[in-house]
Amino acid sequence: MPHKFDPKNIERLDNPERARWQSVERFLELLHPHERMNYADIGCGVGYFTLPVAERIGPHGRVYAVDIQPEMLAELERRARLRRLTNIIPVRCTEREIPIASASVDAACLANVFHELEDPLIFLREIHRVLKPGGRLFVIDWKPLETPMGPPLSERIPPEEVLQALRMIGFAQLREHEIYPYHYVIEVRSKEDQ
């Protein structure tokens, strides 16, 4: 069974050091958040990516903050209130279900989560379901090499395996982005004819 991130270590998720090796700004350049966009941060944690995206999208868009752990969602809600963000919708998921309407999301991100999934195909199928036809998904996960932090090397999934799983679900690969030293970033698009 894959190791899950322990909510007791919440402070690690937004440690200022993280910006050095996983810059939010670099991700935003790929995502191009815009007004009225519906975005899902799947495995949102305490909002490292969620909150900056919500600020860029503004009050007319929606940001679904999706996580399996209620402690993460509670902390994210607290932080959203402090920033006066009203466009974030917390969503508690399981590894088999994401309770968001089908074909309702323009773009989604799955950051630092893929290596924790027990059945990646089931979870990816759910992400594919919630994305609009042609919607984009960014999978960000740990490269299979030794790094100063992160999960054990034995738990990391090579990008080729992630791509294979994405293709099995019906995602079309757009590109891989080399923006982080310790992570790969795979951008795919959902089928147009869902």
pLDDT truncated to tens, each residue of the chain (194 aa)? 455 445 555 555 566 777 888 899 999 999 999 999 999 999 999 999 999 999 999 999 999 999 999 999 999 999 999 999 999 999 999 999 999 999 999 999 999 999 999 999 999 999 999 999 999 999 999 999 999 988 999 999 999 999 999 999 999 988 999 999 999 999 999 987 65
Task: Write down the pLDDT at residue 14.
Answer: 63
Sheet of 105-111, strands arranged across: 88-92, 62-67, 38-42, 105-111, 131-142, 183-189, 172-177
**How is domain 22-189 classified at the CATH fold level?**
Rossmann fold (3.40.50)
CA separation (Å) from 105 to 5, 76, 85, 134, 178? 26, 20, 19, 10, 25
Task: Write down the pLDDT at residue 1.
Answer: 47
Question: Which residues lie across from 42 on neighbouring strands?
Answer: 66, 110
Q: Which residues contact 166 (CB under 8 A, 6 or more apart)?
A: 124, 137, 139, 173, 186, 188
Task: Write down the pLDDT at residue 193.
Answer: 62
How are beta strands 131-142 and 183-189 bridged, if at all? Answer: antiparallel
CA separation (Å) from 90 to 38, 66, 79, 134? 13, 6, 12, 24
How are beta strands 105-111 and 38-42 bridged, if at all? Answer: parallel
